[in-house]
């Protein structure tokens, strides 16, 4: 418990620091990116006709691309720090959020990674911010892609599950109740014991400079916790990684799924 408290203290102070810097920085970036794209667009027809201007156009294009990466990074910092507007919580179908992201996920994974979807036939509705759930899925896909440089398989699975006392006894911190379980597994490198212990820590990354922010999993943890859910990592070096998120099912209109296969499967974590 003490470790968990320390982790949340650290999340909060780092978050406040990050939010202040990211917010001002983002405004300046907007100006830089805006002028650079305008200049690149204006120069495009001239560069096509004049080889001397071609290098200049290529340089501007690089600036725009780097600006876009910087914008993505500050956006990640802001959402991590929760300086974003309050979450827009809605009753929604997790499967639909995933299905809508299909094209984007496939593009993010590249050609060497096979995407397998095993979506529950009768999902329970959940309450969450769809935009933030999309961010969870994209962060998970990007991490999985990075862990499978030689290709592999990413499996996205959803299932309605009921968490009972037996399960909570083995998983302290998880509350009993009905959840939609999101499980994302890859066949990548897996994590060492040291990485696994620190994976949720903000700014912890094993990636080379410029490639990782160390905010992907910390953001996921924040989003799922804010939605009243739980996040777990199961990973073995050489055998891949499975990240499981339990998202509370809504009370009223959720009707229990009686299919035994879709029911309780306590192998989480």
In the complex, the residues that contact ligand ADP under the rule CB under 6 A are 143-144, 147, 186, 188-191, 195, 199, 204-207, 212-218, 241
Q: CA–CA separation, 3 vs 23, rounded Å?
A: 30
> Which backbone phi and psi does 127 adopt, to 5 degrees?
-115, 120
Q: Which is nearer to ligand ADP, 130 or 214 (CB)?
A: 214
SS (H, E, C) 95-114: HHHHHHCHHHHHHHHCCCEE
For residue 258, the minimal CB distance to ligand ADP (Å) is: 33
Q: Which is nearer to ligand ADP, 43 or 191 (CB)?
A: 191
> Which backbone phi and psi does 238 adopt, to 5 degrees?
85, -10
For residue 265, the minimal CB distance to ligand ADP (Å) is: 21
Q: CA–CA separation, 154 vs 44, rounded Å?
A: 39
Orientation of helix 130-147 relative to helix 216-226, angle to 10°: 150
Q: Which is nearer to ligand ADP, 14 or 43 (CB)?
A: 14
For residue 52, the minimal CB distance to ligand ADP (Å) is: 40
Q: Which is nearer to ligand ADP, 37 or 213 (CB)?
A: 213
For residue 189, the minimal CB distance to ligand ADP (Å) is: 5
DSSP notation for 112-166: TEEEEEE--SSPPPEEE-HHHHHHHHHHHHHHHHHH-TT-EEEEEEEEEEEE-HH
For residue 137, the minimal CB distance to ligand ADP (Å) is: 13
Q: Which is nearer to ligand ADP, 95 or 205 (CB)?
A: 205
For residue 190, the minimal CB distance to ligand ADP (Å) is: 6
Asked if 266 and 255 touch (Cβ cutoff 8 Å), the reply is no
Pairing of strands 152-163, 177-186: antiparallel
Q: Look at residues 251, 238, 241, 245 and name the one whose alpha carbon lies nearest to residue 268.
A: 245
For residue 23, the minimal CB distance to ligand ADP (Å) is: 21
β-partners of residue 163 are 177
Q: Which is nearer to ligand ADP, 148 or 246 (CB)?
A: 148
Q: What 3-state DSSP class applies to 247?
A: strand
Q: Which is nearer to ligand ADP, 79 or 241 (CB)?
A: 241
Q: Which is nearer to ligand ADP, 59 or 112 (CB)?
A: 112
For residue 194, the minimal CB distance to ligand ADP (Å) is: 10
Count the Cβ atoms, other than its own, within 10 Å of residue 63.
16
Asked if 71 and 26 touch (Cβ cutoff 8 Å), the reply is yes
């Amino acid at each position: 418990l003490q470790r968990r408290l320390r982790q949340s203290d650290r999340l909060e102070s780092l978050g406040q620091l990050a939010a202040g810097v990211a917010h001002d920085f983002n405004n300046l970036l907007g100006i830089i990116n805006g002028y650079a794209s305008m200049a690149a667009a204006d120069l495009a027809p001239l560069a096509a006709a004049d080889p001397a201007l071609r290098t200049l156009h290529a340089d501007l294009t690089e600036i725009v691309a780097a600006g876009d990466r910087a914008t993505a990074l500050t956006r990640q910092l802001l959402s991590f720090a929760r300086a974003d507007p309050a979450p827009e919580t809605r009753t929604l179908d997790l499967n639909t959020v995933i299905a809508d992201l299909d094209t984007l996920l496939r593009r993010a994974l590249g050609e060497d990674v096979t995407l397998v979807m095993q979506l529950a036939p009768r999902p329970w509705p959940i309450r969450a911010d769809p935009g933030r759930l999309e961010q969870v899925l994209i962060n998970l896909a990007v991490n999985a892609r990075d862990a499978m440089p030689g290709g592999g398989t990413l499996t996205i699975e959803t299932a309605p599950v009921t968490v009972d006392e037996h399960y909570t006894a083995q998983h302290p911190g998880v509350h009993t109740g009905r959840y939609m379980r999101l499980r994302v597994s890859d066949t990548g490198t897996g994590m060492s014991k040291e990485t696994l212990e620190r994976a949720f820590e903000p700014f912890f990354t094993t990636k080379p400079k410029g490639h990782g922010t160390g905010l992907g999993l910390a953001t996921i943890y924040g989003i799922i916790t804010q939605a009243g859910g739980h996040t777990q990592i199961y990973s073995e070096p050489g055998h891949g990684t499975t990240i499981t998120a339990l998202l509370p099912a809504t009370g009223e209109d959720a009707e229990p799924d009686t299919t035994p296969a879709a029911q309780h499967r306590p192998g989480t974590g």
